[in-house]
């Protein structure tokens, strides 16, 4: 949901702004007979912890390679650093960056080493492979698990009321009616943190793609609109329908994200539309109730096409500037990240909020039930990437628009039209053809 933008830096200042002061690695590699390589990733503290664990596990299996960890800023500053280092041939030997539509921003055909023929590529989940492929060439291995958008639900409440996980929107609304009759808020909303209001629209994309398979391409080419595509407008209609039915928590305007997690975990609310990156946060919001939270995909109109919208992990890539022994070492590291041992290393350093996108990887035994629920959709092939992985266009005002719909201020039809205008401005700023 958050993507990188762009700014400008001088090439000579790159390492000063992008490299960590305490990088891992040794200056005695040549004397020790090791091949030194650098790995560049973002400087989020939890991500650095994962990177350090990954490097340690890799080096334990590959004593002939020494990996130095470099970090870059997050957001537009880090995005620019990646682009500039690629343009100047000064990129790290292997690096982490966006998958999906924004991968195109760094011109993979020009700047990256394709890995289509590598053995580990066959072990990648089909959906992830799609978002690191450009013109039939695969370029990246996955950095962590995928996460899914849909509905967190309170399992004890479902058991008490005899409810079944819904596969259609009508069934979901019927469940909400029974939950309200039991004196519980059917659906939690948390508009004090407005980004959370977008989930009912963004997580509905699997249903959009199932109904209109060409929507992402046509949307990017300015041939399809939210206002004129019923399946795409449905997400806004869901917000309007739930608000009109009085299914929100009474404090929806002031409640925060952690309030929402706690409410669904403790049974104060029946449902909370969210992305499963929220699973690790349940440990803080409601540590005694993590196992009381389940997950299901946002239901559409056709139960036979029920499936989940996925936010895929970023990718690990090798620039074309990496050559010789360093290329061989970088390929070993890239392959390790996409292995069962790599997944184990990742899981040892960070809570897992979704399934790994490497088929040979297994979830930790103690993973939360909501993650197991999400994994079942992925294992069954009932998943689609979120629209932002297929199109670079996402209007910046979406969260304000969805708050208005969810608050009863704006109609769904009006919101779809307004969002189409918001998208138009962004597409023109990006210089996308057809706008």
Provide the residue-wise pLDDT of the chain in tens; the chain has 435 residues. Answer: 433 232 222 222 223 233 333 334 444 555 478 999 999 999 988 899 999 999 999 999 999 999 999 999 988 899 899 999 999 999 999 999 999 988 988 999 999 999 999 999 999 999 899 999 999 999 999 999 999 999 999 999 999 999 999 999 999 999 999 999 999 999 999 999 999 999 999 999 999 999 999 999 999 999 999 999 999 999 999 999 999 999 999 999 999 999 999 999 999 999 999 999 999 899 889 999 999 999 999 999 999 999 999 999 999 999 999 999 999 999 999 999 999 999 999 999 988 889 999 999 999 888 999 999 999 999 899 999 999 999 988 888 999 999 999 999 999 999 999 999 999 988 998 888 899
Nearest of 364, 356, 342 to residue 67 by alpha carbon: 342
Do residues 24 and 52 touch, judged by C-beta distance below 8 A?
yes
Strand, helix or coil for residue 275: strand
Cα-Cα end-to-end distance for the chain? 23
What DSSP designation does 321 have? T
Q: Do domains 35-144+314-349 and 147-311+369-430 have the same CATH topology?
A: yes
Task: Give residue 29's pLDDT.
Answer: 56
CATH of 147-311+369-430, one of 3.40.50.300, 3.40.190.10, 1.10.10.60, 3.30.1490.100: 3.40.190.10
Task: Give residue 9's pLDDT.
Answer: 24
How many C-beta neighbours within 10 Å does residue 252 have?
22
Task: Give residue 392's pLDDT.
Answer: 87
Task: Give residue 41's pLDDT.
Answer: 97
Alpha helices in 89-153 (DSSP H): 108-111, 126-131
Task: Give residue 10's pLDDT.
Answer: 24
Task: Give residue 30's pLDDT.
Answer: 54
Please state the domain extents for the chain. Answer: 35-144+314-349, 147-311+369-430
Maximum Cα–Cα distance across the chain: 74
What is the rounded distance in angstroms from the CA atom of residue 237 to the CA atom of residue 361?
38
Do residues 87 and 319 touch, judged by C-beta distance below 8 A?
no
* Chain centre distance of CA 222: 25
Task: Give residue 13's pLDDT.
Answer: 27
What is the rounded distance in angstroms from the CA atom of residue 378 to the CA atom of residue 142?
15
Residue with tokens 């650098």: 38
CATH topology of domain 35-144+314-349: D-Maltodextrin-Binding Protein; domain 2 (3.40.190)
Task: Give residue 12's pLDDT.
Answer: 28
Q: What tokens appear for 29 in the block?
A: 């590699």
What is the rounded distance in angstroms from the CA atom of residue 300 to the CA atom of residue 316?
34
Task: Give residue 290's pLDDT.
Answer: 96
């Amino acid at each position: 949901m958050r993507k990188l933008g762009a700014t400008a830096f001088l090439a000579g200042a790159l390492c000063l702004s992008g490299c960590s002061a305490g990088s891992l690695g040794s200056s005695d590699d040549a004397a020790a007979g090791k091949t030194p390589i650098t790995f560049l990733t973002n400087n989020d503290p939890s991500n650095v912890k994962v990177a350090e664990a990954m490097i340690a596990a890799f080096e334990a299996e590959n004593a002939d390679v020494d990996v130095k960890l470099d970090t870059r800023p997050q957001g537009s500053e880090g995005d620019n650093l990646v682009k500039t280092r690629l343009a100047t041939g000064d990129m790290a030997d292997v690096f982490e960056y966006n998958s999906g539509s924004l991968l195109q921003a760094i011109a993979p055909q020009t700047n990256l080493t394709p890995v289509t023929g590598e053995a580990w590529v066959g072990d990648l989940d089909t959906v992830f492979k799609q978002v690191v492929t450009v013109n039939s060439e695969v370029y990246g291995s996955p950095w962590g698990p995928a996460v899914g958008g849909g509905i967190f639900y309170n399992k004890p409440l479902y058991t008490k009321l005899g409810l079944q996980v819904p596969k259609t929107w009508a069934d979901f609304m019927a469940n909400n009616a029974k939950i309200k009759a039991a004196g519980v808020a059917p659906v939690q909303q948390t508009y004090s943190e407005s980004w959370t209001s977008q989930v009912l629209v963004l997580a509905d994309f699997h249903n959009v793609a199932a109904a209109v398979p060409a929507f992402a391409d046509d949307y990017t080419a300015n041939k399809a609109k939210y206002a004129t595509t019923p399946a795409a407008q449905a997400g806004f209609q869901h917000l309007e329908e739930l608000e009109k039915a009085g299914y929100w928590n009474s404090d929806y305007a002031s409640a925060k994200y952690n309030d929402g997690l706690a409410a669904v975990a403790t049974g104060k609310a029946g449902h909370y539309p969210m992305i499963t990156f929220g699973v690790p946060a349940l440990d803080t919001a409601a540590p005694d109730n993590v196992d009381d939270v389940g997950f299901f995909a946002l239901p559409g109109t056709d139960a036979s096409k029920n499936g989940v919208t996925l936010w895929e992990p970023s990718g690990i890539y090798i620039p074309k500037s990496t050559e010789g022994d360093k290329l061989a070492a970088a390929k070993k590291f890239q392959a390790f990240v996409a292995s069962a041992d790599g997944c184990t290393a990742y899981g040892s350093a960070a809570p897992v909020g979704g399934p790994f996108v490497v088929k040979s990887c297994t979830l930790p035994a103690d993973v939360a039930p909501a993650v197991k629920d999400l994994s079942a959709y992925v294992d069954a092939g009932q998943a689609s990437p979120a629209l932002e992985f297929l199109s670079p266009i996402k209007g910046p005002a979406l969260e304000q628009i969805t708050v208005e719909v969810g608050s009863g201020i704006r109609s769904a039809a009006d919101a779809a039209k307004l969002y189409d205008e918001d998208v138009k401005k962004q597409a023109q700023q990006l210089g996308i053809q057809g706008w």
